[in-house]
Amino acid sequence: MTIRKKELFTIPNLMGYFRILLIPIFMYIYLNAQSVTDTCRALFILILSGITDFFDGIAARKLHQVTQLGKALDPVADKLTLGAVIFCLIRTIPGIQYLFAVFAVKELYMLAGNLISMRFHGKKLDGAAFIGKASTMITYWCLAFFLLFPHMPRLLQLILMMLCGGMMIAAGLYYLPTFYHFIKGD
């Protein structure tokens, strides 16, 4: 992927960089929270990231600034944000480290599948399928509930973690035949 200098500083790409810069800010505020107000500030950072994510896609299309960098940057910002939030919740939500493990394995599998496909056959996924987008959206919503209600009933915590994990696994399995065909050379 060759990146032209003018592609680096498009409005949508600047929003993507901004989302990535929000990650350590979120982590710092959340991990050092001393009150509900601090936790709400961290949640506000996450909501700001989500709003920016929503508008960067619209801006890219409306301003005709869809770039290869932007197509790569957007999912990277999503995955880094989700991973950071799940990681931060490990200290407050018992068992969420297993969700983090599912998330990490799925994302490493997706990365490896794309890299192997690109290396040997010049093919890669062209955007997320509906199930991948649904998995990301559901995970964001569930994580927001964990942030807002860290002391929710244990059964509800388990249901939300299983929902997220199940969606991640389903999304990963959905791409399995695609990667198989890419690697096989079909």
Q: Environment class of residue 66 by beta-carbon count within 10 Å: exposed (0-12), middle (13-18) or buried (19+)?
A: middle
Model confidence at 56, pLDDT cuts 50, 70, 90, reads confident
Say yes or no to pLDDT of 155 above 90.
Answer: yes
Predicted pLDDT at 113: 80
- Give me the sign of the Cα torsion angle 27, 33, 35, 37: negative
Domain definitions of the chain by residue range = 7-89, 94-186
Predicted pLDDT at 129: 82
In three-state secondary structure terms, 9 is coil
Percent of the chain whose pLDDT exceeds 70: 94
Predicted pLDDT at 84: 97
Distance CA 54, CA 103 (A): 22
Average pLDDT over residues 62-87: 89
Percent of the chain whose pLDDT exceeds 90: 56
- What's the distance, Cα to Cα, between the start and end of the chain in Å? 22
Neighbours of 68 (CB within 10 A): 12
Predicted pLDDT at 24: 98
Q: Which of 7-16, 111-120, 130-139, 161-170 has the highest mean pLDDT?
A: 161-170
Average pLDDT over residues 161-184: 88
* 89: enclosing H helix or E strand: helix 68-89
Distance CA 109, CA 75 (A): 15
Say yes or no to pLDDT of 1 above 90.
Answer: no
Q: What is the mean pLDDT of the chain?
A: 89
Quote the crossing angle between the two packed helices 96-121 and 68-89, to the nearest 10°: 160
Asked if 156 and 182 count as a contact pair (C-beta separation under 8 A), the reply is no
Predicted pLDDT at 3: 67
Average pLDDT over residues 130-157: 92
Model confidence at 186, pLDDT cuts 50, 70, 90, reads low
Angle at 96 between CA 27 and CA 125, to 5 degrees: 80
Asked if 7 and 67 count as a contact pair (C-beta separation under 8 A), the reply is yes
Asked if 52 and 106 count as a contact pair (C-beta separation under 8 A), the reply is no
